[in-house]
Structure 1
Amino acid sequence: MIRSRRELHIASSLLLTLQSMPENRYRLPLFPLPIVLLPGAVMPLHVFEQRYREMVADVLKTDRNFGLIFHDWDEQGPFLGEEGRVGCLAEIQQHEELEDGRFILIVRGVGRFAIDEELDQKSLYFEAIVTDYEDASAMRGEEMEFRRGESIQLLDELLDLLPDRPDHLHELSVRSELSYSLAQAIQMEFPWHQRLLEIQDEGSRLERIDQVLRAMIRRGGT
């Protein structure tokens, strides 16, 4: 049962979106942060700013999804939802609302999106019309397995140089988008992860990661 004007606005907006847009084009709340979430990654978030508390409360009433988009407020100034900006669709998997209204979230990256147009702010937080951001090309079958095998071999060489080898990284070889899993395993700055997120080809993402792995191997694992 809808009890308030705000809940009516949310329900009406969602219905309008479903009726008037193709399946891969949709309205999405945006959470600009100086961090990057990758598809498949799980990340904790502490939500304390009022407008994003409001955003979390709203999405928990609908599909539990919002767009996490990389934005360095100190370097880039005010956030602008320019057409073409790429982010990661975040799904709230766990949440805890604290007594003072803050939220502790566990979110998982479930896909990529690109902004089509930023919407006028009728709420405190940012919203945009976005489309799914898919790979433009893909290697298939044996070619992809060979390419992924090269990256796994480089990772194995790197891990052999480390005193404590993480056993769970052996599971990377069976994942469909190896590049995102590898990116989580190596320590790089967030702008590097953002550039990886924007690449629309798994082979090209793996090559970018391989360059980092080779450099780390040459430095003895650092």
Structure 2
Amino acid sequence: MPVTDNETLPLFPLHTVLLPGAPLGLRVFERRYLDLVAECGRSGQGFGICLILEGEETGEPAIPAAYGVEAQIEDFGSDRNGLLTLQVRGLRRFRVARTRVRDNGLLVGDVQWCDEAGVVPLQPQHAALATLLAELLDKVGGEYPDLGHATANLRQLEDASWVGWRLAELLPVTDEQRLALLQEDDPHRRLDRLLEWMDEEA
């Protein structure tokens, strides 16, 4: 697959999959992740979130999936127990070439950024998925209120990549299925897979 050169990225393995463009809330209390947040604050860079294949979110470093998504910190605060809370958003996909563990237990990856194609026009066979997404977003509201009344949002509904990621975010698919979509470079193929999974559930 097309990738850019390796770059070092601190990793935050989780029992969930972060998708490009999707928000995610985190609670941070382990020293290694507090150090990670401080490092990101100094550098202005993000960190990587990967699905855990083996292990747990706390304690010994877990074994992460080979694909993940860069997380950008958008906001932070604290919960009623005084723990640091983060609101992050998924940005770029990456593939982990190798990992190492720092002295503080933080997992760091040498990652290769996936080459994204930009806006990819929706194909006719996927038009029903855009309609479904519009209906879902109309119900959930949130970041996408009055979807049908905003020209920018209507353009997003014509973008195969955006439609695929938002459906993967909102539909009841498994984290393993979301990981499979992360590994797929072709936005149309991602939509094909979503259709296949929906047909299997029908």
Per the alignment, residue 10 of structure 2 pairs with 29
Q: Which moved more, 1:25-34 or 1:53-62?
A: 53-62
1:66 aligns to 2:51 (yes or no): no
Assess, with a 3 A threshold, how the Cα gap between structure 1 residues 138 and 103 changes in structure 2: closer, same or farther: closer
SS of the aligned residue for 2:68 comes to strand
SS of the aligned residue for 1:89 comes to strand
Separation in structure 2 between the aligned mates of residue 58 and residue 122 of structure 1, nearest angstrom: 15
Separation in structure 2 between the aligned mates of residue 188 and residue 86 of structure 1, nearest angstrom: 18
Assess, with a 3 A threshold, how the Cα gap between structure 1 residues 73 and 48 changes in structure 2: closer, same or farther: farther
Q: Which amino acid in structure 1 is aligned with residue 85 of structure 2?
A: I
Deviations 1:62-110 (A, max 9, x none): 12400001005458x952468xx11010000111257987320000001
1:38 aligns to 2:19 (yes or no): yes
Q: How does 1:165-204 map to 2 (within 5 A)?
A: 165-166=139-140, 168=144, 171=153, 173-175=157-159, 177=161, 178-204=163-189
Separation in structure 2 between the aligned mates of residue 61 and residue 129 of structure 1, nearest angstrom: 20
Identical aligned residues as a percent: 25
Q: Verify the 8 A CA contact 1:46 1:102 in the aligned structure 2.
A: yes
Q: Verify the 8 A CA contact 2:29 2:83 in the aligned structure 1.
A: yes
Q: How does 1:128-143 map to 2 (within 5 A)?
A: 128-134=109-115
Q: Verify the 8 A CA contact 1:53 1:101 in the aligned structure 2.
A: no
- Report the CA distance between 1:202 and its aligned residue: 0.7
Per the alignment, residue 146 of structure 1 pairs with 124
Separation in structure 2 between the aligned mates of residue 43 and residue 120 of structure 1, nearest angstrom: 24
Q: Verify the 8 A CA contact 1:88 1:109 in the aligned structure 2.
A: yes
| Number of positions where the alignment pairs a residue of Structure 1 with one of Structure 2 | 185
Q: Which amino acid in structure 2 is aligned with residue 93 of structure 1?
A: E
Query: Which runs of 5 or more residues in structure 1 are unaligned?
Result: 1-21
Q: TM-score, normalised by structure 2?
A: 0.75
Separation in structure 2 between the aligned mates of residue 210 and residue 165 of structure 1, nearest angstrom: 21
Assess, with a 3 A threshold, how the Cα gap between structure 1 residues 188 and 48 changes in structure 2: closer, same or farther: same
Deviations 1:35-64 (A, max 9, x none): 000000011111122211121121111124
Q: Which structure: greater helix fraction?
A: 1
Q: Verify the 8 A CA contact 2:123 2:160 in the aligned structure 1.
A: no
**What's the C-alpha RMSD, in Å, of the aligned pairs?**
3.5
- Report the CA distance between 1:32 and its aligned residue: 0.6
Q: Which amino acid in structure 1 is aligned with residue 88 of structure 2?
A: V
Separation in structure 1 between the aligned mates of residue 130 and residue 91 of structure 2, nearest angstrom: 23
Separation in structure 2 between the aligned mates of residue 159 and residue 198 of structure 1, nearest angstrom: 27
Separation in structure 2 between the aligned mates of residue 81 and residue 212 of structure 1, nearest angstrom: 24
Q: Which amino acid in structure 2 is aligned with residue 205 of structure 1?
A: R
Assess, with a 3 A threshold, how the Cα gap between structure 1 residues 127 and 211 changes in structure 2: closer, same or farther: same
Q: TM-score, normalised by structure 1?
A: 0.69
Pick the aligned partner of 2:192 from 184, 207, 211: 207
Which stretches of structure 1, 4 residues or more, deviate above 4 A after TM superposition?
A: 72-75, 97-101, 137-141, 164-172
Separation in structure 2 between the aligned mates of residue 139 and residue 159 of structure 1, nearest angstrom: 22
Query: Which runs of 5 or more residues in structure 2 are unaligned?
Result: none
Larger Rg: 1
